[in-house]
Structure 1
Amino acid sequence: MTNPLLSDQESELTALLDAYQEQFPAAESPITYMMGFGPEQLCTILREANGREIVFSYPELDQGVLDGCVYHYKEAPDEAGRGNPITLQELLYARGLPRTAKTKLVRHRDTSGKLDIHDLYRNHRPAFLDYQRQQGNRVFDKCDFLVACLGEPGSQSRFVGVFQVQGIERETEEHYYYNLVEVPGFADLKERVIFDWGRAAISWHQWLRPEVGKTVLEIQPKPFSQPFTDYLDFTLSFAELTQLVTNQSPRDEWYRMLSATAGVYLILDQSSGKQYIGSASGTEGIWGRWKDYVATRGHGGNVELVKLLATDAQHGRHFQFTVLMTLPKTMTRPEVIKREYLFMKKLGSRAHGLNQKASHEQ
């Protein structure tokens, strides 16, 4: 039975592509990049072109690393012969940020060297949100919304979300704690949009004004900064694994390599030092098994890990994933488990770790 939603989307995509090709007959067809974006996002890109030609590229291809597809709109030259730059405002307003709302831009950047804001955002998100809402002065009192950014080199800034300001939740002698609620609808822009903060780079907050456009410098691929080099060369925090699984397409290197092999893997609980040894087989190999951990907030159905998450639902934030051994996907499940048990014995993950003990070890 045909899904009517899919049919409507296909019809819209066909109409948008026809109109685009009629306007730019010499341009490369956007359908070439379907694998990079998918039909829904490609529709969005075409809708927002607004009469502009779209330029697609693979920025890292010349380095041998297919790091994802990026795009920008080619502006028609104005009367002075200059292009009209894309602004942060037009991206945000097009996705529902009220133009008339009182909105502040905030640029998180620690200059003391004591705090890695990027690590806090990517790997310790609850702590980042707490850092953002905790202020020494009432700087957000007159705001309806915050546009949150991470400071990049120079005056560059990386967009990471829009938050509605719902007043002060509590206050102490030293701090005000604002109730900030993230606004949905901006996920496709988060971490990807790099814009120029402007001359006020010394200030960490400023008003977002419709008439003072913040120039977009780059729209990057879906974020995952770590390139795949070799099966035994990496470790992934649970936050990184979640980001990887939720953002990668079948075209991407991480998906391709991790789904191409079976293997034995290790999960380290960094809060206790205890280890869990697991194995992966089947059609999607290690990728398929690690997807289960993301879908279950970190436990993957493993008995001892389930117990940890029952005590603390966010305990998965302490987990670190790595591959110990790759195995052919043609190997039978009993053969794979045999290697898994060998590593359990070598590393003592049953007696002293997170693998469930055998009956004679209880």
Structure 2
Amino acid sequence: MIRLTDFLRVPEPMSTKLKFNMRSGSGAGEAWDLLVDDHPDWLNLSRWRASNTNNNMGDARYLLAWAQYYPYGPNYFIFGGFFRVTPVVPRVIDGYGYDLELLDQHSEYIKRLIIRLGKPIGRQVYLRRYETVQQQLNPEVYELAPDTKLGTFPGYQNVRLRHHELQRIIANDEPSWKDALSSVKGVYVITDLSDGRLYVGSASGEANGLWQRWSGYAHLKNLTGGNRELERMRNELGDAHIVGNFQYSILEIFDPKTKAEIILGRESFWKQALDSRHPHGMNAN
């Protein structure tokens, strides 16, 4: 067992706290979702100063931030950065009372280092002091991933991938994702997050189902899967627009033995239901 405090050393142990973030509290979702998307609310989870002293960093000058890594279980947390803490002046209560500056120390472990707590964590103990956390929660280093963690396959109904995540999954042949996406055909939707326009497509004839179809989109020399409207957008806005704004989700899945015409019929239904055809969406037909 590798103790957390043996692995992550800090310059001022007596002035350092750990924040174990779970849900955002703002309706934005789980802390891990905010961290992996680099969402602004990720920092806000640790910036809040409430009248309840459990929510205050008090005299802490440094912060080790963590997000509950729910794919593994409630006692697993993934590292979100080492920060310098500066209280906002004048003092703010029940608001963002701290400025956080991300430091270079331990930055190589962000979204890679996973710890396991030896004791269950509750709302009353989500903020802990560095010098006592080992005794109180017995955190141990569980995993140091070779690349940024994306989690195991979350279920077909929960897929929501940004393009850089899709690239990494395909490039690394992520086992749980490859097994799941290769075993089904399906209808999917691509969302341009810059304007909300949709493209509905399908994997109806590919031998390896959605995995094979999405592998084309992940390739930086393709990006469009050969679609005419997406090619027009790529020529007009460039590769960076697709990589920076496209998000991929699944609408329906089908057994690999399902006939292509059935899947294409459902694709047509979703185009109509979501109004994804030009000019409102990105489907050319």
What is the CA deviation profile of residues 39-89 of structure 1, one whole-angstrom value per residue up to 9, with x for unaligned ones? xxxxxxxxxxxxxxxxxxxxxxxxxxxxxxxxxxxxxxxxxxxxxx54212
Letter in 1 for 2:67: L
What is the number of equivalent residue pairs in this alignment?
Answer: 252
Please list, as runs of the form range in 1=range in 2, the aligned pairs for 1:104-123 lying within 5 A after superposition.
104-109=16-21, 114-115=26-27, 116-118=29-31, 120-121=33-34
| 1:355 has 2:282 as partner | yes
In structure 2, the CA distance between the partners of 1:235 and 1:354, relative to structure 1 (3 Å rule), is: farther
Matching residue of 1:322: 250
Matching residue of 2:78: 159
Q: Which of 250, 254, 258 is matched with 2:177 structurally? A: 254
Tell me how far 1:276 sits from its aligned partner: 1.0
Partners of 2:126 and 2:184 in 1: CA distance: 49
Q: Which of 79, 89, 95 is matched with 2:5 structurally? A: 89
Please list, as runs of the form range in 1=range in 2, the aligned pairs for 1:189-204 lying within 5 A after superposition.
189-190=112-113, 192-196=114-118, 202=125, 204=127
CA contact (8 A) 2:198 2:283 kept: no
Please list, as runs of the form range in 1=range in 2, the aligned pairs for 1:10-89 lying within 5 A after superposition.
86-89=2-5
In structure 2, the CA distance between the partners of 1:223 and 1:89, relative to structure 1 (3 Å rule), is: farther
Letter in 2 for 1:194: R
Partners of 1:89 and 1:151 in 2: CA distance: 18
| 1:128 has 2:30 as partner | no
Indicate the SS of the match to 1:349.
coil
Partners of 2:241 and 2:164 in 1: CA distance: 22
Tell me how far 1:258 sits from its aligned partner: 1.3
| 1:286 has 2:214 as partner | no
CA contact (8 A) 2:83 2:100 kept: no
What is the CA deviation profile of residues 123-178 of structure 1, one whole-angstrom value per residue up to 9, with x for unaligned ones? 653223331563547758633xx32223699x95623233253x75x956544422
Matching residue of 1:207: 130
Letter in 2 for 1:89: T
Matching residue of 2:53: none
Indicate the SS of the match to 1:185.
helix
Q: Structure 2 length normalisation: TM-score?
A: 0.58
What is the CA deviation profile of residues 7-44 of structure 1, one whole-angstrom value per residue up to 9, with x for unaligned ones? xxxxxxxxxxxxxxxxxxxxxxxxxxxxxxxxxxxxxx
Partners of 2:127 and 2:264 in 1: CA distance: 56
Matching residue of 1:236: 159
Query: Identity across aligned pairs (percent)?
Result: 18
Q: Structure 1 length normalisation: TM-score?
A: 0.48
Letter in 1 for 2:179: R
CA contact (8 A) 2:186 2:251 kept: yes
Indicate the SS of the match to 1:234.
helix
Matching residue of 1:150: 67
In structure 2, the CA distance between the partners of 1:312 and 1:172, relative to structure 1 (3 Å rule), is: farther
Partners of 2:103 and 2:34 in 1: CA distance: 16
What is the CA deviation profile of residues 290-322 of structure 1, one whole-angstrom value per residue up to 9, with x for unaligned ones? 3455666xx757347755996797544xx4501
**Higher-RCO chain (CA-CA 8 Å, sequence separation at least 6):** 2
In structure 2, the CA distance between the partners of 1:102 and 1:132, relative to structure 1 (3 Å rule), is: farther
Letter in 2 for 1:101: P
Tell me how far 1:208 sits from its aligned partner: 4.3
Structure 1 gap segments, 5+ residues each: 1-84, 93-98
Partners of 1:205 and 1:336 in 2: CA distance: 55
CA contact (8 A) 2:22 2:31 kept: no
| 1:101 has 2:11 as partner | yes
CA contact (8 A) 1:304 1:355 kept: no
Q: Could you say which structure has the larger radius of gyration? A: 1
Partners of 2:121 and 2:256 in 1: CA distance: 56
